[in-house]
Amino acid sequence: MNYQPIAAAVVAVCGVVGLIMQARRARHAMDDVKRDLEVWALLPEASEQRQPLQSSIEEAVARYVADQRDKTRDLSGVVVAVFLATAGGFLWWLSASNGGYWWWCALGAVPFSLFGVVGFFESIVLARRDSKGSRIRAVENDAAAG
């Protein structure tokens, strides 16, 4: 079997996924702090805006430090998700390469692939988590939604 088209498709998909992830990447909080520090340094000593800007900068740094300390990734979830996605990919490959009755393997490939991909993106995100690795949702968001 010629694997060159499959390899080219995998490389293309990885490239597109990389571009999408790069485009979705949020600005780093420290970039805003750096910009504010540059503005603060340019303000004259007698400016009334110097103290409020300094307070804003200090609050942003405190929030950043608290977020970095509290947020984690669920690495065990990532490992399980990669295993499921790999098993799903193997079942897809088994179906496509053998054909015929082997296409019944696609019934197993769908849930394995789906749970693997969704589980990966759920586990890899930096978020507040409990001891089991589940995300802790903010109560304010739940109250506003309900």
Domain boundaries, the chain: 28-71, 73-146
Residue 128 backbone dihedrals phi, psi, to 5 degrees: -70, 135
Mean pLDDT of the chain: 81
User: What's residue 82's pLDDT?
Assistant: 93
Q: Give pTM, 2 decimals.
A: 0.51
More confident residue, 25 or 116: 116
Integer CA distances (angstroms), 137 to 24, 25, 52, 75, 129, in order: 21, 21, 31, 19, 9
Helix 105-124 × helix 75-98 angle, to 10°: 150
